[in-house]
């Protein structure tokens, strides 16, 4: 069965795009994305961005479920702390 590319929540699409570019900035590839677009990025770069996005969304979900608000665990170098 083929996957649908239709967004489940259309209002979330802009927020996800902003998060994607924010993560790209943290990883130091935002300027390349801005000048060349996502189509020219390597699969490794795209995977890194996606992995960081998933990690951030899981952290947000867990903090919402626990009822606490926590600051981002991203260091100034852009790497997440374990």
Q: Determine the Cα–Cα distance for residues 23 and 78; give it in Å rounded to an integer.
A: 8
The pTM of this model reads 0.69
Contacts of 74 (CB under 8 A, 6+ apart): 26, 80, 81
- pLDDT tens digit sequence for 3-23: 677 777 878 888 999 999 999
At residue 11, the pLDDT reads 82
Q: Which residues pair with 23 in a beta bridge?
A: none
Q: Where are the domains of the chain?
A: 14-66
- pLDDT tens digit sequence for 57-82: 999 999 999 886 655 554 444 554 44
- How big is the chain, counted in residues? 82
């Amino acid at each position: 069965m083929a996957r649908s590319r239709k967004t489940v929540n259309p209002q979330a699409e802009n927020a996800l795009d902003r998060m994607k570019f924010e993560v790209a900035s943290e990883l130091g590839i935002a300027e390349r994305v801005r000048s060349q677009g996502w189509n020219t990025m390597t699969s490794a770069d795209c995977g890194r961005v996606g992995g960081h996005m998933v990690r951030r969304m899981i952290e947000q979900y867990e903090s919402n479920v626990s009822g606490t608000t926590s600051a981002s665990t991203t260091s100034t170098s852009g790497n997440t702390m374990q």
